[in-house]
Amino acid sequence: MKIRSLVVVFFALACISQPLFAQRNKAAKADGAYKAGEYFVAIDLYKAAYNSISDKSNKAETLFKIAECYRLVNEPLKAELWYAKAISKEIDNPMATFYLAEMQKMNLKYEEAKDNFKKYKELAPKDTRADDGIRSCDLAQKWMDNPSGYQVESMKFFNSKQDEFSPAYANADNSIVLFTSFRDGSTGKAISGITGQNFGDIFTSQVDRKGSWSQPVPLSENINTAFDEGSPCLSKDFKTLYFTRCKFSKKEALGCQLCYSQLEGDEWGKDKVIQIAGDSIVIAHPAISTDELTLYFTSDMAGGIGGKDLWMVSRASKSDEWGKVPVNLGAQINTSADEMYPYIHNDGTLYFSSNGHIGLGGLDIYKAIPKADGTWKVENMESPINSNADDFGITFQNDQEKGFFSSSRTVKGDDDIYAFSLPPLKFNVIGTVRDEKTELPIAEATIKSISSDGITIDNKADKNGVFRFTLKPNTDYVFIGSKTGYLNGKERETTKGLDRSRDFKTSIRLASTAKPIELPNIFYDFAKWDLRPESMVALDKLIETLNENPTITIELGSHTDSRGGDVENINLSQKRAQSVVNYLIEKGIAADRLMPKGYGESTPKVVDNKMATQYTFLKEGDTLSEAYINSLSDTDLQEIAHGVNRRTDFRVLSTDYKAKN
């Protein structure tokens, strides 16, 4: 039975206060069933009444109510169909468009949902839920396409043909689990007119050494009654059980209450009611803090922010009564929609379910991390913990990233229990060592991995220049490549802040020492040799190269274009080369590692593949001599060629330099 995560049960029971069949006609009977929360009954009654309704607006409203019933019993496919019918009959209610979009989101129709959220924004421009809905569709698709590292599987040992939800560990070694179930064998014999199932009870199951769980059995009648019991949670010492009980009567509204029971030997003692609000108020889904001084719960009591909110009450000690004035958890947690099923982790993190925050569809599970200033950082747990269906009622196994949660993601939409775990993070880096100019792989280069935890590992690239390392979580890495005839090169990676396993792809490029290496972006004003500020970025990179290759000495060569006199150009280029050397010395590079050389216009640039790719009018192998440049018909192209000749480069003179003491 697809009741919306039993939310309807806990909140609809409080509404039943009058016999349904006292109504005078089909429409009135349907409205009576709807108000009482008996949505399955109301669906058939509304359908039967529809043909007898003549007023156009009333017919549209009836279609809308049918859609609402399907939404509330968690049948989004049928709900989508009937909202669309209501809109086609021109219903004067913007919420039909909003809920149509919500159902389409649950049905994985994210683009259609976005379109209808945009239409709803036009109908209700002040309602921020439209923007949230549009954003949620984009993020939902992203999260579905890029799931987190959690692994999820159905707990077949727990699940039946009926609904199971809200699991809780019941002992220190996590071998006993309690959960809510509507399966056969529950204490109550009646069938709920709201769910069409048995009334819910708390069941228990125990795992053996082989990992097999026992047949679930209900707790004793000290806990389970003819009414609905569910959403168990336990104190840190597992000696106090908190749970929800919802009574009902066709004569009065009774609401839902939180109860607790003390463990007496191997059995739970007779329960007691926690007095938080009046009998007609719904108080449900308890969660207890580790010190048992704060009790969290769900309620639709007055003073809240939305439909169902999360609240808390406190006490000074475990022997004291709970406070009589509940405190709402505020707008960072609660929205205009529903927040339910709280769970408090040992580290103080609050987990809860909501259909009001940005999510994938239906109820999603969120984690709220408390901050020092008393606020919360709320995060969606994303896929695969969350789905387009209802996901709720999470519990963790001690301090591990594993446990159970509930979801209606089955084909039939039934609530089932799922196990989740986060395997250890795995990180690898796969890289290739390449020639900086040709991009060809360099075989058997030496690769050194230096990690921020102080560990250094040496490795060799294979004949294709490929290397691999396994990386640790939360660690910075530097990878240094070296090969005779090349300058050392390096790349960096980090696994810090990553919560998903990942393979990194990288390339380390080594510059050959066989030819001069051009320094890009070394600029001077016309006929001057003072370095411009933007040139210093490239020179700082050269300083890094010199520090990574401490045994090399280099010549700094400066080149001019062919315009101007030969002597003038030689003198200008020598001064420019010297300005580079001076800058490097100022930055701590030993002077005896540096030799300035002004070439003037004597060594025009030979076009390489990279340059020919950048300037399509040049051909690889051409020498940019004065005659060649003058042969270019376009003066703009001539100016580009002159600019290529105006360059600064360096070449390695020796590789055995030793610093003087």
Q: Is the pLDDT of residue 7 over 50?
A: no
Pairing outcome for strands 201-206 and 176-181: antiparallel
Contacts 24+ apart (CB under 8 A), 572-575: 572/527, 572/529, 572/598, 572/600, 573/598, 573/599, 573/600, 574/598, 575/529
Cα gap 93→86, rounded to integer Å = 9
Give percent of the chain above pLDDT 90: 74
Question: What is the structure's pLDDT at 188?
Answer: 67
Residue-level length of the chain = 661
Cα gap 167→397, rounded to integer Å = 11
Mean pLDDT for 92-101 is: 96
User: Domain limits of the chain?
Assistant: 151-421, 427-510, 517-654
Cα gap 61→466, rounded to integer Å = 67
Cα gap 442→485, rounded to integer Å = 11
Paired strand residues for 256: 246, 282
Q: Is the pLDDT of residue 16 over 50?
A: no
Tokens of 175: 């071998």
Paired strand residues for 244: 230, 258
Give per-residue pLDDT as tens, 505-515: 999 999 999 88
Paired strand residues for 649: 518, 557
Cis bond upstream, residue 384 (ω within 30): yes
Beta carbons of 477 and 451 less than 8 angstroms apart: yes
Q: Which of 246-255, 359-368, 544-553, 565-574 has the lowest mean pLDDT?
A: 246-255
Q: Is the pLDDT of residue 5 over 70?
A: no
Cα gap 143→141, rounded to integer Å = 5
**pLDDT, greater one: 278 or 337:** 337
Mean pLDDT for 630-646 is: 91
Q: What are the angstrom distances between the C-alpha of 427 and each of 400, 461, 613?
A: 20, 19, 36
Cis bond upstream, residue 342 (ω within 30): no
Question: What is the structure's pLDDT at 410?
Answer: 85
Question: What is the structure's pLDDT at 24?
Answer: 45
Paired strand residues for 596: 556
Question: What is the structure's pLDDT at 546?
Answer: 94
Q: Which helix (H) or strand (E) holds 230?
A: strand 228-234
CATH code of domain 151-421 = 2.120.10.30
Going by the DSSP 8-state scheme, the letter that residue 317 receives in this structure is: S
Question: What is the structure's pLDDT at 257?
Answer: 93
Tokens of 643: 């600019």
pLDDT, mean over the chain: 90
Question: What is the structure's pLDDT at 252?
Answer: 58
Give per-residue pLDDT as tens, 424-482: 999 999 999 999 988 999 999 999 999 999 999 999 999 999 999 999 999 999 999 99
Q: Residue 649's closest CA among 582, 580, 585, 569?
A: 580
Q: Which CATH class is domain 517-654?
A: alpha beta
- Cα-flanking dihedrals φ and ψ of residue 657, to 5°? -65, 140
Cα gap 540→111, rounded to integer Å = 49
**pLDDT, greater one: 610 or 129:** 129
Q: Residue 484's closest CA among 551, 546, 539?
A: 551
Residue 540 makes CB contacts below 8 A (sequence gap 6+) with 587
Tokens of 215: 């047949």
Beta carbons of 558 and 581 less than 8 angstroms apart: no
What's the pLDDT band for 414 if we cut at 50, 70, 90? confident
- For the chain, the 3-state helix, strand and coil shares in percent, each to the nearest 5, are 25, 30, 45
Report the amino acid identity of residue 156: K
Beta carbons of 280 and 246 less than 8 angstroms apart: no
Tokens of 238: 């597992």
Give per-residue pLDDT as tens, 593-624: 999 999 999 999 999 888 898 899 999 999 99
Give per-residue pLDDT as tens, 136-169: 999 999 999 989 889 999 999 999 999 999 999 9
Give per-residue pLDDT as tens, 170-202: 999 999 999 999 998 877 666 665 565 768 899
This prediction has a pTM of: 0.73
Question: What is the structure's pLDDT at 478?
Answer: 96
Question: What is the structure's pLDDT at 289?
Answer: 96
Burial code of 131-168, b = ≥16 C-beta within 10 A, e = fewer?
ebbbebbebbeebbeeebbbebeebebbbbebbbbbbb
What's the pLDDT band for 20 if we cut at 50, 70, 90? very low
What's the pLDDT band for 530 if we cut at 50, 70, 90? confident
Q: Is the pLDDT of residue 359 over 80?
A: yes
- Same CATH topology for 151-421 and 517-654: the answer is no
Q: Which of 279-288, 356-365, 516-525 has the lowest mean pLDDT?
A: 516-525
Q: Is the pLDDT of residue 132 over 90?
A: yes
Question: What is the structure's pLDDT at 521?
Answer: 80
Q: Which CATH superfamily is domain 427-510 in?
A: Carboxypeptidase-like, regulatory domain (2.60.40.1120)
